[in-house]
Amino acid sequence: MTLITLIRHGETDWNLEGRIQGSTDIPLNDTGRAQARAAAARLAGASFDHTYASPLGRARETAEIIAHELGLPAPLITVGMREHEFGEAEGLLWDQYRERFGARRDEVPGAETAQQLTERALASLARIDLAARRRSAPRVESVLVCTHGGVIRALLEHASGGTLPAPGERLGNASEHRFAMDGGGLRLLDTATV
């Protein structure tokens, strides 16, 4: 079994504007960097064996800040934890998105479907779990993964059977969500929004 703490990246200017980032590589702003340091302070009592991050700069920098503050090695990049690809919706404000596409998230040209996102994220976590079990068996390994709101939302929906997050609930920047994974099965342990 592997204990997995997912952290949403810190704030970006596009978050502040209410703009869809998706796979567009938008950097953290100063508030986002402060949120990453605050997340590290909250996590200071926990012990992590490894840190992973999405390849997108906002998640990677969040992971780097947390790893530095906690005295952990540099994060390993895991491509499967990158944000939901929104296709033609990337760069739009959420109001523009709703006006243009309504609730048809899976019909946006060039966008990844919700199912594709969930499968990709689960496969990435399964690879992390397998590597952890190979390194540490029979000891349980604890890893930190810095990723994105869409990825965390998909994993919460999967692990909770669709009951979480609540409709309209926003996952805060630098929020923490704890899971356990054992041979491919994902189980939600705790979720905390910031």
Q: Could you report the per-residue pLDDT of 117-142, keeping only the tens digit for each? A: 999 999 999 999 999 988 887 889 99
Count how many domains the chain has. 1
DSSP annotation of 104 reads -
The predicted model gives 83-100 an average pLDDT of: 95
- Look at 92-101, 166-175, 185-194 and tell me which has the smallest mean pLDDT: 185-194
| Annotated catalytic residue within 64, 83, 141, 176 | 83
pLDDT band at 184 (very low <50, low <70, confident <90, very high): low
- Look at 6-10, 61-65, 166-170 and tell me which has the smallest mean pLDDT: 166-170
Mark whether 177 is an active-site residue.
Answer: no
What is the domain range of residue 89?
2-192
- Give the contacts of 145 (CB within 8 A, at least 6 positions apart): 4, 5, 6, 7, 51, 52, 53, 78, 81, 125, 128
Query: Has residue 13 got a pLDDT over 90?
Result: yes
Query: Has residue 59 got a pLDDT over 80?
Result: yes
Residue 35's identity, in one-letter code, is: Q
State residue 194's pLDDT score.
65
| Annotated catalytic residue within 9, 50, 148, 177 | 9
In angstroms, what CA-CA distances link 93 with 15, 99, 139?
10, 10, 46
Mark whether 50 is an active-site residue.
Answer: no
Query: Has residue 103 got a pLDDT over 80?
Result: no
Q: Assign residue 87 the CATH number of its domain.
A: 3.40.50.1240
